[in-house]
Structure 1
Amino acid sequence: MNPRTSPSATSRGPRRDALRNDAIVIDAARAVFAEQGPQATMEAIAARAGLGVGTIYRRFAGKDALLDAIARFFVEELDRAASTALENPDPAAGLEWFLNFVGTFHAEKRRYAASLTDRVPSGDDVSARTADHVRQLTRKAVEAGYLAQDVTGDDIKALIIAIRGVVAASPDGDDGPWRRFVRIHLTGLRAD
């Protein structure tokens, strides 16, 4: 059997340099989209990445495929943040840290966040895990007496969705509105 066509040769994952290039492209795309929005060209992304545009097209068929990859990365990033918040021994601090992370996260992507909406299919395993982390985080904050007894994970999920809207409606670089929004809403959700 030819070693180039053996099952082990064809079932291997992407080469290390391809994975490294993917990370470089995604980082460059995030930066360029943050500056220029979703209308940024693949050529601008390639220039930022220091790669030829052909290299990008070999890994990502077009801008939609690149935005899909970025959306997947963002879902995983939010899940890691929710998991980190859960590890905080102080449930109030963990919840506040996570909500601040969410606000900063959306503020950094303000110019192209709308282009990422609905790119991750509903029922996605990572999204479901993140929702479970938010429910656990909320439950811990309620049990610790930080949040009122009737506050649920759905209330915090609604707050997270609203943060995205406040960020989108705020001027570029002004984090004041979403931070104030979070502070006011947490005050309303706190236990007496």
Structure 2
Amino acid sequence: MPPFLVVRVNEVTDKTRTILRAAVQRPTRADARRNFDALLAAARDAFAEQGTGASLEEIARRAGVGIGTLYRNFPTRQHLFDSVYFGEVEELCDAADDVADLPPWEALTTWLRRFVGYAATKRAIYESLNRDSEMFKSARVAMYEAGEPLLVRAQEAGEARTDITFDDVLRMVSGLTAAGFVDDQQRERVLAIALDGVRAR
């Protein structure tokens, strides 16, 4: 995708959502879906903290399920990596929908704060992902379809600089996660400094 493709509609296309859903493959039964989502959340935290070598037994324990349940949902560690990554992208798309009714600057910054969590997870498992796959490419498209309209809306409202692109903003926010943060308060301070550079003067 070009570095700055203006998408005027604040939604991810049906085609892209279908690809993301196929990548994650959540169970349809309610209790199985709860276990699946609990495992994804536990794996996301474990990989962010410990890297790709995090213990699967520890992930199952954090999720409150047995190791057998983990393997039924994710037969291999690679399945778990992929599901965590695409699950994060799916949540980013949903987050864009959630903030669509907020004022333009608030919508953009709220979504970017959510993006920080995604970037930390991606950094932890990036080398384990098949970055040449169509699904991985579709995930990038999904992020642009979800987030770029938020920047465009803030620019049109005169609240964000017009000499920057969405790609610029994503790279900046992704870079903030490289060194890690001492705590959530430091993360918020650093992000606030970065976002101040996005705001129109």
> Is TM > 0.5 for Structure 1 vs Structure 2?
yes
Where do residues 177-192 of structure 1 align in structure 2 (5 Å cutoff)?
A: 179-180=189-190, 182-192=191-201
Partner Cα separation in structure 1 for residue 38 and residue 187 of structure 2? 32
Partner Cα separation in structure 2 for residue 104 and residue 161 of structure 1? 14
Q: In structure 1, what is the equivalent of residue 173 of structure 2?
A: 163
Report the 3-state secondary structure (helix = DSSP H, G, I; strand = E; otherwise coil) of the residue aligned with 2:151. helix
Where do residues 55-70 of structure 1 align in structure 2 (5 Å cutoff)?
A: 55-70=69-84
Structure 1 gaps, min length 5: 1-12
**Amino acid paired to 1:130:** M
Q: In structure 1, what is the equivalent of residue 43 of structure 2?
A: 29
Query: 1:146 aligned to 2:155?
Result: no
Give yes or no for contact 1:67–1:115 (8 Å, CA) kept in 2.
no
* Change over 3 Å in CA distance of 1:73–1:122 after alignment to 2: closer
**Amino acid paired to 1:33:** F
Q: What do residues 7-28 of structure 1 show as CA deviations (whole Å, max 9, x unaligned)? A: xxxxxx7544432321232233
Query: 1:112 aligned to 2:139?
Result: no
Give yes or no for contact 1:103–1:164 (8 Å, CA) kept in 2.
yes
* Change over 3 Å in CA distance of 1:50–1:95 after alignment to 2: closer
Superposition deviation, residue 176 in structure 1: 2.9
Partner Cα separation in structure 1 for residue 195 and residue 43 of structure 2? 34
Q: In structure 2, what is the equivalent of residue 134 of structure 1?
A: 147
Q: In structure 1, what is the equivalent of residue 21 of structure 2?
A: none
Where do residues 68-87 of structure 1 align in structure 2 (5 Å cutoff)?
A: 68-87=82-101
**Amino acid paired to 2:62:** R
* Change over 3 Å in CA distance of 1:49–1:104 after alignment to 2: closer
Query: 1:38 aligned to 2:52?
Result: yes
Give yes or no for contact 2:93–2:143 (8 Å, CA) kept in 1.
yes
Indicate the larger mover: 49-58 or 90-99: 49-58
**Amino acid paired to 1:191:** A
Amino-acid identity (%): 32
Superposition deviation, residue 185 in structure 1: 4.4
Partner Cα separation in structure 1 for residue 140 and residue 122 of structure 2? 20
State which structure, 1 or 2, has the greater radius of gyration over its C-alpha atoms.
1
Whose RCO is larger (CA < 8 A, sep 6+)?
2
Superposition deviation, residue 131 in structure 1: 0.9
* Change over 3 Å in CA distance of 1:189–1:64 after alignment to 2: same
Report the 3-state secondary structure (helix = DSSP H, G, I; strand = E; otherwise coil) of the residue aligned with 2:159. coil
TM-score (norm 2): 0.68
Superposition deviation, residue 80 in structure 1: 1.5
Report the 3-state secondary structure (helix = DSSP H, G, I; strand = E; otherwise coil) of the residue aligned with 2:178. helix
Give yes or no for contact 1:147–1:191 (8 Å, CA) kept in 2.
yes
Give yes or no for contact 1:167–1:178 (8 Å, CA) kept in 2.
no
TM-score (norm 1): 0.71
Alignment counterpart, residue 91 of structure 1, candidates 86, 95, 104: 104
